[in-house]
Structure 1
Amino acid sequence: MTMRIHALLATMVLLAGCATADPDITVLHRIPHGGTVAVVPFQDCAVASDADCAGSGATAGSIFVRVLSERPGLHAVALPRPVGADAQLTDAAAVAYAAKKGYRYVINGEVQDYHRAGHLAIHADRAGVAVRVLSVKNGQALTTYTYQEDSKTHFTSPDDMLEDMAKQLATSIVVEPKRQKQGDFMIYKPSGG
């Protein structure tokens, strides 16, 4: 085999190592541009005998707050978790909690998997979440997002994976304004993501 074929095969293996299924995302309604969403730190994962699960919900919650806050037209605010890190917080309880704090939208979720294997480990780094964006007005789930990712190449940490998940969610939940006009036509230019 030539050097070029070896390089192409190595690139394909590298890309395949990070490949996973697409996220399961359902968007019924979006948050208006300029809106604020409260984020409750997620419930820690409960993978048996995985010490990395302890604190995974707080880590994921802080990553989601940071990434959502970086999205133009969206403000994210962290709320303290009203129950223990490994205790379930129902969506109804999250909505009532956010309502008491004066927010119109709240994100509630669970870390389903969080494992740091390291670069030389046999097992892959993993991260997975299930998240709901809820309307405080009626408790309706405006957006649901579920995703599990494994890094077979050991180049992506669970925190990097969570950041990518937060970016996917941020892109999906905020309404983009249609202000840019050129000539007689309205031009929609997404702001990236």
Structure 2
Amino acid sequence: MKYLSILSFMLLCTPGWSQQWAKQYDYVDDWYCGLCIVEKDGKHGFVDKEGNLVVPLIYQEEMHFNEGMAAVMKDGKWGFLDSTGKLVIPLQYSEVYTFTNGLGLVMKNDKYGFIDPSGKAVIPLIFDNASSFSEGLAVVSKNGMWGFIDTHGKEVIPMKYSYAVSFNEGYAKTKRNGKWLLIDKNGKESPAE
């Protein structure tokens, strides 16, 4: 009976990619938004739960779905698919990151900014460097100085740091005048030890 229980558990919990259709691919990933990344001969696409190829095997790279969007790359340019597998943001960016807080971090012409799910640049591509939003703020830099913006693009902590990392548990590590500092979301500084 114990053997039968273990066998039943294994059959019930076996991932969907163990289906017969999966054998035709070199690589099969996990499910996100009802789609699964597959790879064959170095090309990537997406299949649905029945194994139907929803997004053709034409992409060189891809990222998992986050907030209903997945980044894909072809011929060195990135764009985004929606959860139906439709390319909704054209392949035009040299770098992209997953959507967080409803915004996708993108780079074009060596400048970073943020787009919404329709592809509209809601925070202009004006930054020399940037990171995705964390705890409602994104660390950005211009002319070698770092600061933080909110999801509307408003600078909430001035770009006065020579280095900064994203917020984690209410604090971000920064560097100014050669000293490491911790700052809170109001910009209050304390020495980092």
Q: TM-score, normalised by structure 1?
A: 0.21
Higher strand share: 2
- Higher alpha-carbon Rg: 2
By relative contact order (CA 8 Å, sep 6+), the higher-ranking structure is 1
Higher helix share: 1
